[in-house]
Amino acid sequence: MQTIDQLVLDENNIAFHPMMGNSYQLDGIAKEIITLLKYHKTKDEIVQELSSKYDVCKNDLYIDVSDFLAKLKVYGLV
């Protein structure tokens, strides 16, 4: 099981990892990305879904999602 699957998300945009004992403050988009990752969506699928909801250049969104995924990797969550 991926570490991301173990995160518990709450209504206040807090992600808690019970096995590691860590909490992370998220913004709304970060929470959406993590939720999509928990559904095993790929980076391209995440970009597609977010671009259909928000008026953002798809290229910029791809870069932002890539950066966020890189940060998750640094924290050992993906």
Residue 1's pLDDT is 41
- Convert the pLDDT of each residue in 50-77 to its tens digit: 999 999 999 999 999 999 999 999 988 8
As a whole number of angstroms, the distance between CA 1 and CA 51 comes to 28
As a whole number of angstroms, the distance between CA 43 and CA 17 comes to 22
**Strand, helix or coil at 75?**
coil
Residue 76's pLDDT is 87
Ranges of each domain in the chain: 3-74
As a whole number of angstroms, the distance between CA 15 and CA 11 comes to 10
Mean pLDDT, the chain, whole residue set: 93
Residue 44's pLDDT is 96
Residue 20's pLDDT is 87
